[in-house]
Amino acid sequence: MPLIKNRYGKGRVRVMRIHRDGDRHEVSQLSIKAMMEGDFARAYTHGDNSTSVSTDTIKNVVNIVARENTGLSTEEFCQVLAKKYLDTYPQIASVAITSHETKWSRLNIGGKPHPHSFVRDSNGKPTVDVTAIRGGASTLASGIDGFAFMKSTESGWENYVKDRYTTIPPTADRMCATSMVATWKWSGKPQNYPATNAKILDTLLEVFSTTYSMSVQDSLYRMGEAALAAVSEISEISMACPNMHFILMNLSAFGMDNNNDVFLPTDEPHGQIECTVGRR
């Protein structure tokens, strides 16, 4: 039986970097997955480990690169990490690095940013994906996973297909909420990755917040257009948005009306809206 494809590596390598600039510290907590492809087939087919790099070694390299690069942005760190594997092990043909970041926001004490105290920001995890191929082009994408946002009005769902299976009524005034997974591909290097990522997210949220939504599909496309217009260094943006539903409660049994005031929150089952917007 032929071995069609194989890869291996190390997942959930947790690392916290602290970059010290005098009294001011910057922190970066990452969970890294590093996957390798290359000359490893005989480990599967012949029990020959002579070309295999231990997954524990793969983990150690993450920590070594972290120690040597405390001040790099996550995008730059992942690129340096991928290069380290290729430079160190000639039997590796390609490496894929995936990073999820746990965000820590600087505390303000007495109206001033504290130099080394932080609170965890649990809304969404920044992501980075790097693919580096020996002798070939590398790719870099950034994004956010599980970023929740909502608006309580200025959203509707009308003029859709209606048949004998349709039960949902049309509305021009509904809540709209989602927990978004978004990624954007870099075609150029920005002056500052974190600042540019923040600009992309701010642009998406501004369009969502300040314009009427004919549907989640309508909003996603216009959000993607705006992000591409705002940041020239990205070539495309992909968004996946599961609906977080808020079902209007029927309070008539209690002699009460409910004019979009009280809802039942639920996310199962949910609509799953996805799109990719790119440059022509």
The amino acid at residue 259 is N
Q: Which of 59, 84, 185, 245 is catalytic?
A: 245
Which one-letter amino acid corresponds to residue 158? E
Using CB atoms within 10 Å of the CB of residue 162, give its burial: 0 to 12 exposed, 13 to 18 middle, 19+ buried: exposed
Choose, from 55, 131, 139, 276, the residue flagged as catalytic: 55
Q: Cβ atoms within 10 A of the Cβ of 147, count?
A: 19
The encoded tokens of residue 181 equal: 């997974």
Closest CA to 16 of 83, 97, 101, 114: 101
Check if the beta carbon of residue 15 is closer than 8 Å to that of residue 63: yes
CA distance 82 to 58: 11
Quick check: 174 and 151 in contact, CB under 8 A?
Answer: no
Q: Enumerate long-range contacts of 82-90, CB under 8 Å, 24 or more apart.
A: 82/130, 82/131, 82/132, 82/138, 83/132, 85/34, 85/36, 85/58, 85/61, 85/132, 86/132, 86/134, 88/61, 89/36, 89/38, 89/53
203 catalytic? Reply is: no
Give yes or no: 151 in active site. no
Cβ contact 15:64 at 8 Å: no
Choose, from 10, 59, 100, 125, the residue flagged as catalytic: 10
| C-beta of residue 18 within 8 angstroms of C-beta of residue 25 | yes
57 counts as catalytic: no
Q: What is the DSSP letter of 40?
A: -
Residues annotated catalytic, as ranges: 10, 55, 245
